[in-house]
């Protein structure tokens, strides 16, 4: 945007997540939300509540045809991401696309290819990379405090899983592929970051262990997660109002071999009482682990030989908000707008987002086919090279 005018931003999909578009104003950069698109009456009403007097339409194609926007924030559900992003990119509209980039590897590659061919800015909202816990773990690795990383293990306790993922479209394979792809795309991305490599071989294992047996279904049409969320919904088998289709796994595990020889594993469970993720990063000179994953938590580093100790040899407080990720969201939105306005290379790369989808998609394929190991095909070099590698990453 060289003409000095404010970037006209549209928001596509006005549900739970559309609130991140408010960070456009908070960024202090010359950009304004001017339009919103949602196919439902409820979504369009929320657009007016959230953004005030903006142009509200039903589809992203209307934003394109009426030339209403220069950039779009796509917070529509996962299965719509690829089609919406490709249309916008081909029309020359810069795209902030929520994670996951797409629900299949083929669609993920199609989005990156469209950005490459059209030369339009594409940014994927992997906000978790900007969270305090990930920064603290990454800083430990970057300072060499645990030597060269050899293994990364992540256990993901999705205590809010019943409310977050089993009462709407998230529970339907046709709409998300799997929660290993949907939810884990953050962690697969962070495993790649901490390990300094990308997964090339995966094997998965998982099942629908708890929520599949619940027969109380339906009733959430037109409602959003905030309308039914409650800590009182416990134990998990007592949940009511599940999505009509529930065929995604609620417990799953993945083993990964990365291109630099690092071995990684990821475990996700949607019926734990607590909600957080725990990383262990093991190098050839020490081990780092987080306790708590928001402000108030701690990253501990052990780098002296011993039996066991709950205290680390060094401990780093985790910075940031104590709940949610509003701080990280402001950083991602600011990065996206700087990319659009000044051409500044963001620290998050669509290539990394593609590798998270590739790993999640093939891990899912593996777990649904007898846990056979599968090789992750590389992104075509011409497409990969189109996206500048952010400083210090790949």
The residues binding ligand NAD (CB under 6 A) are 12-17, 37-40, 43, 60, 75-78, 80, 98-99, 125, 127, 168, 224, 325
Q: What are phi and psi of 50, to 5 degrees?
A: -75, -40
Q: In the bound complex, what is the minimum distance in angstroms from residue 259's beta carbon to ligand NAD? A: 25
- Closer to ligand NAD by CB, 55 or 260: give it: 55
- Closer to ligand NAD by CB, 87 or 289: give it: 87
- Closer to ligand NAD by CB, 8 or 167: give it: 167
Q: In the bound complex, what is the minimum distance in angstroms from residue 254's beta carbon to ligand NAD? A: 19
d(C-alpha 246, C-alpha 249), whole Å: 9
Q: In the bound complex, what is the minimum distance in angstroms from residue 166's beta carbon to ligand NAD? A: 13
Token pair for 93: 């509209």
3-state secondary structure 51-102: HCCCEEECCHHHHHHCCCCCEEEECCCHHHHHHHHHHHHHCCCEEEEECCCC
- Closer to ligand NAD by CB, 17 or 300: give it: 17
Q: For residue 162, what are the CA distances in angstroms to 140, 156, 188, 235?
A: 34, 14, 21, 10
Q: Are 60 and 88 in contact (CB under 8 A)?
A: yes
Q: In the bound complex, what is the minimum distance in angstroms from residue 301's beta carbon to ligand NAD? A: 27
- Closer to ligand NAD by CB, 98 or 335: give it: 98
Q: Are 133 and 322 in contact (CB under 8 A)?
A: no
Q: Are 269 and 210 in contact (CB under 8 A)?
A: no
Q: β-strands 122-125, 149-158: how paired?
A: unpaired
Whole-angstrom distance between the N-terminal and C-terminal Cα of the chain?
Answer: 27
Instruction: Calculate the CA 276 to chain-centre distance.
Output: 15
Q: In the bound complex, what is the minimum distance in angstroms from residue 285's beta carbon to ligand NAD? A: 33
- Closer to ligand NAD by CB, 99 or 300: give it: 99
Q: In the bound complex, what is the minimum distance in angstroms from residue 125's beta carbon to ligand NAD? A: 5
Q: In the bound complex, what is the minimum distance in angstroms from residue 79's beta carbon to ligand NAD? A: 8
Residue nearest to ligand NAD (CB): 15
Angle CA(53)–CA(54)–CA(56) in degrees, nearest 5? 120
Q: In the bound complex, what is the minimum distance in angstroms from residue 14's beta carbon to ligand NAD? A: 5
Q: For residue 81, what are the CA distances in angstroms to 44, 78, 191, 275?
A: 19, 5, 23, 27
- Closer to ligand NAD by CB, 47 or 299: give it: 47
- Closer to ligand NAD by CB, 77 or 147: give it: 77
């Amino acid at each position: 945007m060289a003409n000095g005018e404010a970037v006209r931003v549209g928001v596509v999909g006005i549900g739970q997540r559309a609130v991140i578009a408010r960070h456009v104003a908070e960024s202090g950069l010359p950009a304004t939300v001017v339009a919103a698109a949602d196919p439902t009456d409820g979504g369009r009403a929320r657009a007016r509540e959230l953004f005030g007097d903006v142009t509200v339409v039903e589809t992203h194609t209307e934003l394109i045809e009426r030339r209403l926007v220069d950039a779009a924030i796509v917070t529509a559900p996962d299965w719509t991401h690829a089609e919406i992003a490709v249309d916008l990119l081909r029309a020359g509209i810069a795209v902030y696309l929520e994670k996951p980039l797409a629900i299949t590897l083929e669609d993920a590659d199609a989005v990156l290819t469209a950005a490459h061919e059209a030369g339009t800015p594409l940014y994927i909202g992997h906000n978790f990379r900007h969270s305090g816990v990930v920064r603290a773990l990454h800083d430990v690795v970057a300072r060499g405090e645990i030597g060269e990383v050899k293994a990364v293990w992540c256990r993901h306790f999705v205590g809010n899983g019943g409310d977050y993922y089993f009462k709407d479209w998230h529970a339907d394979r046709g709409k998300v592929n799997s929660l290993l792809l949907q939810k884990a795309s953050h962690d697969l991305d962070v495993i790649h970051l901490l390990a300094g490599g990308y997964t090339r071989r995966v094997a998965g294992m998982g099942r629908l262990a708890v929520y599949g047996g619940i027969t109380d279904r339906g009733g959430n049409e037109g409602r959003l997660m905030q309308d039914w969320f409650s800590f009182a919904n416990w134990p998990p088998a007592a949940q009511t109002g599940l999505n009509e289709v529930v065929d995604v796994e609620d417990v799953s595990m993945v083993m990964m071999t990365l291109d630099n020889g690092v071995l990684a594993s990821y475990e996700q469970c949607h019926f734990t009482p607590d909600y957080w993720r725990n990383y262990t990063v093991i190098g050839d000179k020490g081990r780092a682990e987080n306790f708590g994953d928001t402000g108030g938590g701690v990253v501990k580093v052990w780098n002296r030989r011993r039996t066991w100790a709950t205290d680390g040899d060094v401990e780093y407080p985790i910075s940031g908000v104590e709940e949610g990720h509003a701080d990280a969201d402001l950083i991602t939105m600011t990065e996206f707008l700087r990319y659009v306005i000044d051409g500044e290379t963001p620290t998050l790369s669509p290539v990394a987002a593609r590798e998270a989808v590739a790993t999640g998609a093939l891990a899912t394929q593996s777990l649904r086919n007898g846990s056979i190991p599968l090789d992750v095909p590389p992104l075509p070099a011409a497409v990969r090279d189109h996206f500048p590698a952010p400083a210090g990453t790949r």
